[in-house]
Amino acid sequence: MIIPVRCFTCGKVVADKYEKFTRRVRQGEDPSQVLDDLGLTRYCCRRMILAHIDIIDSFMAFATTEPSEASLR
């Protein structure tokens, strides 16, 4: 899905840090250290990044380009 813009619990902006986090972790850095470096020290914000599953590409396979009958009424 699309990463939420803000933490559900405290309201801190987390969406801008997701790509940096994934890039650095793929390069072999420790996820805990990366989260600290990005300023995500609260466990509620860490949860937003760590629990996110990026499945938007899977959903896009089912997107239609033609209008449905219900939208034409």
The three-state (H, E, C) secondary structure of 26-69, written as one string = HCCCCHHHHHHHCCCCCHHHHHHHHCCCCCHHHHHCCCCCCCCH
Cβ atoms within 10 Å of 56's Cβ, excluding its own: 10
Kindly report, residue by residue over 25-67, the tens digit of the pLDDT.
Answer: 999 999 999 999 999 999 999 999 988 877 777 777 777 776 6
Torsion over CA: 15, 58, 31, 21 (sign)? negative
Q: Report d(CA 33, CA 27) in Å as an integer.
A: 13
13 three-state secondary structure: strand
Hey, what domains does the chain have and what are their CATH numbers?
1-62 (1.10.10.60)
- The reply to whether the predicted model has a pTM over 0.75 is no
